[in-house]
Amino acid sequence: MSLLSQVVLITGASRGLGRAVARRLADDGASLVLAARNEPELAAAGRDLVESGLAPGQQVICMQVDVTCGEDVERLVDRALGLTGRLDVLVCNAGVYGPLGLLEDVAWEEWVDAIHINLMGTVLCCRGVVPAMRRQGAGKIILLSGGGATQPLPRLSAYAASKAAVVRFGETLAEEVKDAGIAVNVVAPGSLNTRLLAQVLEAGPERVGREFYDRAVRQSETGGTPLDIPADLIAFLASTASDGVTGRLLSAVWDDWRGLPALRDQLAGSDVYTLRRIVPEDRGWSMP
């Protein structure tokens, strides 16, 4: 899954999954433009990549960016295009849990901020890169979702709503750009031991609910999903190995995504790996 001579833009790249993805795609040969709000952590992530060794011509650029700010995103895309004149891959990883607690108890401003970061930030970055990808006739866009997209998450309503919206946005954008040679897919990375888990543990069962809190404790104790598992899937979707796969929500943990190239034609005409409404007939019910 070589990414030699490819330019990849990664948001939320200063820590956790974003940092792991940067490491993986750098190993695959990509030049990287890394973006995050925390400048010291972002600079440290960039230094680690450079100090670990890069191939001749490979570059790593870091930019402090707020993905909800249109001017910041415009500067970011311009900087990425300035490397080689191309932008081959966008990984939208920036995201937050938002406020934890019952809807009527949480601060409204924090709820709205989570929607802005998770959804609006994703849309802004896609809106920024699509024109360049259209001009070059190719591109890969990879969005990050999670469990909130496919099941209710009580007491994490902003996160759940925004991540479900990201999936439907990704499916819709995939249809808009499919004739331009641009693929858009969404990744559910699994239960990761990152700062989001620490946030849940700190909040406690009173705010996130006993069941969700106990699950977080077990995840913390067992280690959760290794970061290299979703990083592998993202590397696959960034590479030519995934050509023809678009408009899908893929679980890094549960889906046999390595076999997708053999199913390209079947996938193209199906609703497999998508968000869809279940009707009674789907469950064999006989309605009165």
Question: Are 166 and 119 within 8 A, CB to CB?
Answer: yes
pLDDT (0 to 100) of residue 286 = 87
Residues 152-157, mean pLDDT to the nearest whole number: 92
pLDDT (0 to 100) of residue 1 = 67
DSSP string, 7-46: EEEEES-SSHHHHHHHHHHHHTT-EEEEEES-HHHHHHHH
Residues 70-77, mean pLDDT to the nearest whole number: 98
Residue 200 has pLDDT above 90, yes or no: no
Question: Are 143 and 67 within 8 A, CB to CB?
Answer: no
How high is the mean pLDDT of the chain?
Answer: 94
Q: Which of 97, 159, 213, 273 is the catalytic position?
A: 159
pLDDT digit string, tens, across residues 226-275: 999 999 999 999 999 999 999 999 999 999 999 999 999 999 889 999 99
Beta strands in the chain (DSSP E): 7-11, 31-36, 60-64, 89-92, 139-144, 182-188, 249-251
Looking at domain 7-190+227-255, its CATH superfamily turns out to be NAD(P)-binding Rossmann-like Domain (3.40.50.720)
213 is catalytic: no
Question: Are 32 and 235 within 8 A, CB to CB?
Answer: no
So where are the chain's domains? 7-190+227-255, 192-224
For residue 190, count CB atoms less than 10 angstroms from its CB and return exposed for 0-12, middle for 13-18, buried for 19 or more: buried
* Rg from Cα positions in the chain: 19
Min mean pLDDT across 44-58, 192-206, 272-286 is at 192-206
- pTM for this prediction: 0.94
Question: Are 121 and 76 within 8 A, CB to CB?
Answer: no
For residue 263, count CB atoms less than 10 angstroms from its CB and return exposed for 0-12, middle for 13-18, buried for 19 or more: middle
Read off the tokens for 161.
Answer: 């709503």
| pLDDT-above-70 percentage for the chain | 100
pLDDT (0 to 100) of residue 35 = 98
